[in-house]
Amino acid sequence: MQIDEKIFFREVTLKICGSLEIEKALWRCFLYIRNFIPASQMNLHLYEQSLGVVETIAHAALDGGKLISIKTSFSHRARKILESLRSIRIKTFCDPNDRDALKEFALKLQTIGFSPDLEFVFLDLVIEKKFIGVLSVVYEKNKKVTEDHLRLLSQLNEPFSIALSNSLRFREVQMLRDLLADDSRYFQEELRKLAGEEIIGADSGLRNVMDMARQVAVLDSPVLLMGETGVGKEIIASAIHHMSPRRIGPFIKVNCGAIPATLIDSELFGHEKGAFTGAISQKRGRFERAHKGTIFLDEIGELSIEAQVRLLRVLQEKKIERVGGVKTIDVDIRVIAATHRDLDAMLTQNLFREDLYYRLKVFPIIIPPLRNRIADIPDIAQYFIHKKSCEMKLPTPLPLAPDTLENLKAYRWPGNVRELENAVERALILSQGKPLTFQLLQPPKESEGKTSSFNAEDISFNLNLAIAGQIRKALAASKGKVYGKGGAAELLDVNSGTLYHKMRKLGIPFGKKARQRPPA
């Protein structure tokens, strides 16, 4: 039979490299090679030279191809024979002693029809001088290996080596992917445990909050959590995520106030390699990482006007583009935002976009301050005492001194739950093994006014709003003039460039924008 060896090589290469599922590729090759070589089966093996162990990983016969895992430990004698034949790429094992040494290997593979009585050929698979594995071709009964067969098989080193190497890498990637998914599930569970399976006060001071959280958790609607600093907005956001159908997905936290304005786009949207100086590799942003899960945007009121515009697009279209990229990426996310600032007051000062505000405020939840949850203070204090005692490796949690609980209830807790946690840790440090007293806490005097709750008055102490108010007054006095004699910069005694920068940052219009929309 005349064989065009170039066509043979091309067809075998196309078939063995045509699928990352090596068992399918091996079976297609086997069916084609049978037209020229009387093979009854083909197998791929990995050989661990240091251990003398061979693992058969793929098998192909007339009934199909399949992945297998059959490991055989070679005897010392068999290993010596194999090493002596290492320089020979294709081996027929005609010597009876050689075949006898491989008898244990052949017997182990009897379940797939490999018999020591049959003719077989081993082809070492080597690429770039690196030994990858072995291809074995088993002949039909009473069929013999010929020189023509060996010449054809010797051509198959490169395509089979590449295919086996790709398959091993593909198998490793799949294994790592499964490990990553398993680790992700484990760490999500650990985070849930760290956050606490039960929120203290869920049946008392936070009952209304938790009722609202349960109602909205099953939906994908945005949630806006409002409340003073330290009331536990992140814990409530985590609870909503873990009660939702997205609980198996990621819960990505972003503190918008902690990210510099120059880095906010890169952090939220990611960037492509070379997008800017220092972008040495591609980076996925927080929105992309939150795909199929929840993203928690804490301190949403700290975002610049420019960042608010881009966030609005994400909420409306569920699409992002990395910095320096042209490809639009779909993201399936649920947004939970939180703030301690009064967004209504910020709207009147043009510091927060009205369209974004109403997009976020689909389901607002106001979390009450700790001073309005006095009944929860004993349980919260005991929780932190146990937690901090474990962290500080104390043998047993320390008890509270007499009347201490009443002092804790009388204190106004301007820092809320976070302040209580810090107070517990400080008391444990100062206790020296004695009952906890919290002596550093000073209950308010009767003449002192009550600490204001979360309302619009709090916002008047915000430095940015105070600066914005002064700039607007200066603009009104200068009739919109920014620089030059009698301009706002002169009235405020600042450099005009500095004033322009501050106006852009605070969203105060000037020039044409000011004429289109006069300052509020």
For 330-347, how does the pLDDT look when each residue is reduced to its tens digit (9 = 90+)? Answer: 999 999 999 999 998 899
| Confidence tier at 511 by pLDDT (50, 70, 90) | low
Nearest-angstrom CA–CA distance, 86 and 100: 18
Nearest-angstrom CA–CA distance, 140 and 136: 13
CB atoms near residue 331 (< 10 Å) = 18
| Confidence tier at 220 by pLDDT (50, 70, 90) | very high
DSSP assignment of 168-216 equals HHHHHHHHHHHHHHHHHHHHHHHHHHHH-SS-TTTTTTTHHHHHHHHHH
Sketch the domain layout of the chain as residue ranges.
5-170, 200-366, 375-455, 462-516
Q: Model-level pTM greater than 0.75? A: no
pLDDT tens digits for 112-134? 877 777 788 889 888 888 888 88
pLDDT tens digits for 419-467? 999 999 999 998 888 899 887 776 555 444 444 444 434 444 457 777 8
350 token code pair: 């043009």
pLDDT at 450: 44
Enumerate the β-bridge partners of residue 138: 41, 120
Give the CATH superfamily of 200-366: P-loop containing nucleotide triphosphate hydrolases (3.40.50.300)
Choice among 41-55, 140-154, 480-494, 504-518 with the minimum mean pLDDT: 504-518
Nearest-angstrom CA–CA distance, 107 and 104: 5
CATH 1.10.10.10 given to domain 5-170: no
**Phi/psi at 132 (nearest 5 deg)?**
-95, -45
Nearest-angstrom CA–CA distance, 41 and 138: 5
At 409 the three-state DSSP class reads: helix
pLDDT at 111: 76
**Residue labelled with tokens 């990229």:** 325
pLDDT at 432: 84
In the predicted structure, residue 17 carries a pLDDT above the cut 70: yes
pLDDT at 219: 92
In the predicted structure, residue 520 carries a pLDDT above the cut 60: no
Q: What is the dihedral of CA 10, 16, 18, 21, to 10 degrees?
A: 180
Q: Which residue has the higher pLDDT, 188 or 288?
A: 288
Enumerate the β-bridge partners of residue 283: 271
**Mean pLDDT over residues 283-306, rounded?**
92
In the predicted structure, residue 260 carries a pLDDT above the cut 90: no
At 513 the three-state DSSP class reads: helix
Bin 366: left if φ > 0, else alpha if -120 < ψ < 50, else beta: beta
Nearest-angstrom CA–CA distance, 135 and 307: 58
In the predicted structure, residue 389 carries a pLDDT above the cut 60: yes
| 189: Cα within 13 Å, side-chain hemisphere | 6
pLDDT tens digits for 35-89? 999 999 999 988 887 777 888 899 999 999 999 888 877 777 777 766 666 667 7
At 133 the three-state DSSP class reads: strand
pLDDT at 456: 38
Choice among 41-55, 172-186, 361-375, 403-417 with the minimum mean pLDDT: 172-186
Q: Work out the burial of residue 127: count CB atoms within 10 Å of its CB; fewer than 13 is exposed, 13-18 middle, 19 or more buried.
A: middle
CATH no. for 375-455: 1.10.8.60
At 339 the three-state DSSP class reads: strand
Nearest CA to 423 out of 434, 408, 445 is that of 408
In degrees, to the nearest 5, what angle opens at C-alpha 219 toward C-alphas 218 and 223?
110
| Confidence tier at 194 by pLDDT (50, 70, 90) | low
In the predicted structure, residue 517 carries a pLDDT above the cut 60: no
pLDDT at 201: 82
In the predicted structure, residue 245 carries a pLDDT above the cut 70: yes
**Residue labelled with tokens 């039909």:** 140
In the predicted structure, residue 274 carries a pLDDT above the cut 90: no
In the predicted structure, residue 471 carries a pLDDT above the cut 50: yes
Looking at every residue in the chain, the average pLDDT score rounds to 84
pLDDT at 447: 41
- Give the whole-number percent of the chain exceeding pLDDT 90: 36
pLDDT at 291: 92
The radius of gyration of the chain's CA atoms, rounded to the nearest angstrom, is 36
In the predicted structure, residue 196 carries a pLDDT above the cut 60: no
